[in-house]
Structure 1
């Protein structure tokens, strides 16, 4: 291979290039593309002896060492090749904290400190809430000065959770949550119960750990929408909903006597999935949980009577916790026994049917428009994939393989004055542009459908649709034994150029104490229960992200 050094001038800059005289013009153009960012098809290269075309042999030009060549052309877009502003750092040269924060890094597991799998699974699932990570990062613990008795106050559970998650973000090695566990047992002595069969600590219920941690966060962790706005509880904003409950006596005599139904508002931090002999799906269990029988005194009847309490959701939080009520107290064994029944649950949950009329009226138009937009997106993507399979070489050639015929239009006049009818065609690029414009208009319409009250509540669900993000599972027949693990859906990485999130790959992280592995979505399908194998106990759902008025996903 013979190479000759030449100088290429482009927009006032000189580039030293080695020309391979055995190659073609196409190779030379790609050399210049890597240096200037100007695509080969946009380059015009001025050389004495002729124009450089893709198939032109470079030996034709009889280059001389140091010869100057002029190149004209500008990049067709802004995504040109540029040198990185920061020097490239290889994983081998990174600190442990830097390596842990790289795209695709395996997250840290948690060491089992003796029957603490219930806590490890809970902590890993709560960690899947990015807003919680941000709020904890800004949390400032109150002063830890001694109290009047001369004793140090109990450890701040919120501070310990902040420090725990920070430490976990800086390593890929298993982390031992000693300080957080000490803080939890100090605040809630039930988690310090000793095992009846050995010297260690007893196994505990993950749902109880979840509830106690969330309750503490509700009291301590505050957030502000703007520097001027008042503080509010993080949990109240992002993880709590509201129920409108109606309590009515079942006996007609009470209603005939003038007793009116009592309507009240209640806050909920989780929805319960009650399991009975007819419960096959999560929807059945939620319906069971929103209707219950209560025995209380009726003032009209002057005695105890049975009442039905029916609840409807009047606010849906951005993050929804659903608990499978699988454990019940069994008198014979004096233990919490487990309901083994198989209950399926969806990756996408629609809760509109459980909302009251006011909220339902706000959500239905948005939900229906979301489904319409999704169908349009799927149709566009299918069309592009089909075209790619069939060959895209002629897509942008009028009348070519990718061209689409439009209605006939007048295209000229014959010599005798008659109008000649012709056919016009659209290229695939033009059709794609029209579809993209229509899709953007639909996304803007969707944004306009959001009720102002919901639009101003960024901690609420604005469509009624949720996507599954985390699952806490239990293996075994009793809450006091067995084993807990958790599954957390992998978040899409952020594109370094655009700052937007890429498409998710559908994979999940399985946290089994200190062991962390990647699994596919079909593993989640197997968590519906039906035996002593791993079954879902707690589900963490997130409101599906909606496109902004500009069409981007928020």
Structure 2
């Protein structure tokens, strides 16, 4: 459809503008912004007595060539949200591979399967979802002459390559280093040529152990380095070990207390396990046999553990594999065990940690409810406003010229009563939508500041710990098959929100996930992840990676 040239009058000037009938009102406003520097949200464009809306179809306005259109509005003091680009716009086809890989929403790189290496690929993709790890690896320097066998150095190089491409990457150098440091991953297949399949959980644990030994981070150059894993991925248990036999207790045997470091929570699975919570509680109460000095023989003991430090990144392991003598393989427990997108660990914590987490957790939930209420109210006001606007014959927020004439005649014929009963005569005032929203936002900001003030000094000083007791699911390693040494491993990683290059603020996440199936990477909805509870040989969750939910800063801004 051919464009139509109209004349736009603004502050004594005339602009000839070509209008594409297939465009929208917002497209037209953007054209005028380029001519007048008046931001679209500050423009008032009058067409046939009505104000132009952003979503109006320009083809339905019946525009004619040479038609005069009035525009009102002045440029904002700060330049508005829009600004002329300072650099030349570069189109995708003109970008390098590295530039395309770094664009918002770009599909991340997959990893080539080098022969039964899906267990490794899924582990590496999930660990890559930890941004602090990627940052720490960029500054890592191996000892001279050790780079080829240094897992941290090889992981740093691999992640750099993956960040600069959308193509599949073969992790050959990292795999060679892994097999050098841990020869069990170089085991040959007993059923055919090539290397044997391995357990992804074992690979995860060995890689994390190496990172803990090698990768350190410093708050400042003068301070000693702290292990990355100890800071962000390691928790602490407060444990009590007690003999189960009354005879030992009566004989004076005392329970013993200890503090133990953990890098993952186990989820034990038996006939009563239906949910992640059930399995974690079972794992926190461990039965074992050891010698009792009071009884002079071996006796049964129970070790009960509580979390006394919760790391920012929490790994949860579904203990699905067990050694089966008959087949001499690690058989898989098929039972369905559900897991949440948001995990509350408060009930697993020590009394001391619990008392610090509960006020913050409860305030988080209160703030979320306030945010939901504000959003619902905003949608109601918009719906009401849109309905009111649809009742106006002008169609876009202003009455038609005919209505204005009728209102003027009616106003001359009728004089308002001086002693009427109407509310308007009482001088009552009403708040505008903008005033109501501003008050709600101010109250919400105040609540976020209160939330920040509730964080205990000890937790505030430990920025590598969880400060609310709430975690959000960020990654899942899955297994398909009947045993750990066979089948197939994949990974799911939640998409991160895009960052505004001007403000540095993160936008909202769309809730979708990346599914890494070796070199194949696809975007999937959250219900695909929720279906990984197991119940058969299909894909079921083996490792969950949770991240502490973000909390607002002292200024009430989300960190």
Closer, same or farther: CA 115–489 of 1 in aligned 2, 3 Å: same
- Tell me if the contact between 2:147 and 2:153 (Cα under 8 Å) persists in the aligned partners: no
The residue matched to 2:543 in structure 1 has which SS? strand
Q: Distance in 2 between matches of 1:105 and 1:381?
A: 30
Query: Counterpart in 2 of 1:547?
Result: 552
Q: 1:18 aligns with which of 5, 16, 19?
A: 16
Alignment partner of 1:267 out of 248, 261, 265: 261
Change (3 A) 1:53 1:336: closer
Task: Map 1:373-388; keep pairs closer than 5 Å.
Answer: 373-388=367-382
> Structure with the greater relative contact order (CA < 8 A, sep ≥ 6): 1 or 2?
2
Measured in 2, the distance between the counterparts of 1:376 and 1:191 equals: 51
- Kindly tell me: are residues 356 and 427 of structure 1, through their superposed partners in 2, closer, same or farther at Cα, counting changes over 3 Å? same
Does the Cα contact within 8 Å between 2:6 and 2:65 map onto a contact in 1? Answer: no
- Residues 1:534 and 2:534 aligned together: no
Name the counterpart of 1:481: 486
Give TM-score scaled by structure 1 length: 0.85
Residue 397 of structure 2 corresponds to none
Aligned twin of 2:470: 465
Structure 2 counterpart of 1:360: 354
| 1:285, distance to aligned residue in structure 2 (A) | 0.3
Which residue of 228, 232, 243 maps to 1:234?
Answer: 228
Structure 1 CA distance, aligned partners of 2:471 and 2:51? 52
* Structure 1: gaps (5+ residues): 46-51, 62-70, 145-151, 396-412, 415-419
Q: Is the 8 A contact 2:318 2:543 kept in 1?
A: yes
* Mapping for residues 101-250 of structure 1, pairs under 5 Å: 101-144=102-145, 155-250=149-244
Per-residue deviation, 1:258: 1.8
Q: TM-score, normalised by structure 2?
A: 0.84
Q: Determine the structure 2 residue equivalent to 1:508.
A: 513
Label 1:343 to 1:196 Cα distance change in 2 as closer, same or farther (>3 A): same
Q: Secondary structure at the match of 1:472?
A: strand
Change in 2 beyond 3 A, CA 1:197/1:34: same
Task: Give runs of aligned pairs for residues 317-328 of structure 1, distance below 5 A.
Answer: 317-328=311-322
Q: Which residue of 1 aligns with 2:436?
A: 431
How many Å separate the matches in 1 of 2:542 and 2:252?
43
Identify if the C-alpha distance between structure 1 residues 278 and 37 changes in structure 2 by more than 3 Å, giving closer, same or farther: same
2:76 pairs with 1:75: yes
Specify whether residues 242 and 58 from structure 1 end up closer, same or farther in structure 2 by C-alpha distance, changes over 3 A only.
same
- Which residue of 2 is the match for residue 402 of structure 1? none
Secondary structure of 1:391's partner? helix
1:497-525 Cα deviation digits (max 9, x unpaired): 32111100010011111111111000011
> What is the Cα deviation at residue 230 of structure 1?
1.7
Tell me, yes or no, if the aligned pair for 1:38 and 1:80 is still in contact at 8 Å: no
Larger relative helix fraction: 2
SS in 2 for 1:260: coil
The answer on 1:494 being equivalent to 2:499 is yes
Query: Which runs of 5 or more structure 2 residues have no equivalent in the other structure?
Result: 20-25, 53-63, 390-417, 420-424
User: Is residue 37 from structure 1 mapped to residue 31 from structure 2 by the alignment?
Assistant: no
1:253-297 deviations in whole A, cap 9, x for unaligned? 222222211000000000000011100000000001100111111
Any conservation in 2 of the 1:465–1:544 contact (CA below 8 Å)? yes
1:289-300 pair list within 5 angstroms: 289-300=283-294
Distance of 1:230 and 1:16 partners within structure 2 = 67
Q: Kindly tell me: are residues 275 and 261 of structure 1, through their superposed partners in 2, closer, same or farther at Cα, counting changes over 3 Å?
A: same
Cα pair distance change 1:487/1:30, threshold 3 Å:
closer
Q: 1 CA distance for matches of 2:352 and 2:480?
A: 41
Tell me what 1:92 maps to. Answer: 93
Aligned CA-pair RMSD: 3.1
| Displacement after TM superposition at 1:425 (Å) | 1.4
Q: Deviations over 1:418-441 (max 9, x none)?
A: xx9553311221111111000000
C-alpha separation between the residues in 2 aligned to 1:18 and 1:485? 58
Aligned-partner Cα distance in 2 for 1:527–1:224:
38
Corresponding residue SS for 2:190: coil
Residue 154 of structure 1 contacts residue 187 of structure 1 at CA under 8 Å; is this kept in 2?
A: no
